[in-house]
Amino acid sequence: MTTINEIHGPTALPPSASGMRIGLFGGSFNPPHEGHRLVSQQVLKRLQLDAVWWLVTPGNPLKDHKQLAPLADRIAAARKLIELPRVYATGFEAEHGFRYTYDTLKFLTETLPDRRFVWIMGADSLRSFHLWERWREIADLMPMAIYVRPGSSRRAPFSPAARTLARFRIDETDAEILPDQKAPAWVYLNGLMSALSSTALRASSSPAAGGDTK
């Protein structure tokens, strides 16, 4: 059966309608893995979202790109892995030349002002969020859902950004109201975790680790 992911081009925005509650899950997805699927499933349910969009980035400015697979390959891999209703993968940022999350989110809120967007990121990203370009303005653009990650569950809630935004945090039991909140607003979600990471998967598939060199 043909899916919406397959119908729309790799840099096209997924379909949406006025009033939809949409989670934006950005990352290099280099490669995408089951942990990304798990977060998407959990956030869809906990926040009562209508959709989750995987925003496959051209490249994170804070990361080394030496092992970054071509964008088209990462989008194709993400779409093959997803196999979930209401979850879509797009590389639209590359078409617009966006390098920073702020530019992406600003564009979406201005282009689709009647959607209720939520920015999704792992707790490991929250730990370094204060290093992101215009991170305070990102927090002002839309509510944020932070999902627990192995090794970050204790430190992330006390990171510089988390402390700065502490008064805007809502209780985890109220997570379903987050998309309706005026930014800044955020929730820290505990739940099922996957030990998988893109970094570890790249290392395990490298020639030195005995992986496939093709």
Which element (helix H / strand E) includes 51?
Answer: strand 51-56
What fold is seen in the domain 18-193?
Answer: Rossmann fold (3.40.50)
Which pLDDT value is given to residue 205? Answer: 55
pTM, full prediction: 0.86
- Classify burial at 126, counting beta carbons within 10 Å of its beta carbon; exposed 0-12, middle 13-18, buried 19 or more: buried
CA torsion sign for 16, 18, 21, 23 is: positive
The DSSP code for 169 is: B
Domain ranges of the chain: 18-193
Which pLDDT value is given to residue 213? Answer: 29
Using alpha carbons, select from 106, 95, 112 the residue that is nearest to residue 50.
112
Which pLDDT value is given to residue 58? Answer: 86
The DSSP code for 181 is: S
**How confident is the prediction along the chain (214 residues), in pLDDT tens digits per residue?**
445 565 578 889 999 999 999 999 999 999 999 999 999 999 999 999 999 999 999 876 656 556 789 999 999 999 999 988 899 999 999 989 998 999 999 999 999 999 999 999 999 999 999 999 999 999 999 999 999 988 777 789 999 999 999 999 999 999 999 999 999 999 999 988 866 454 544 345 544 433 332 2
Which pLDDT value is given to residue 99? Answer: 87
> Is residue 47 within 8 Å of residue 21, measured between CB atoms?
yes
Rounded distance, CA 92 to CA 40, Å? 19
Give the dihedral of Cα atoms 84, 99, 129, 185; nearest 10 deg: -60
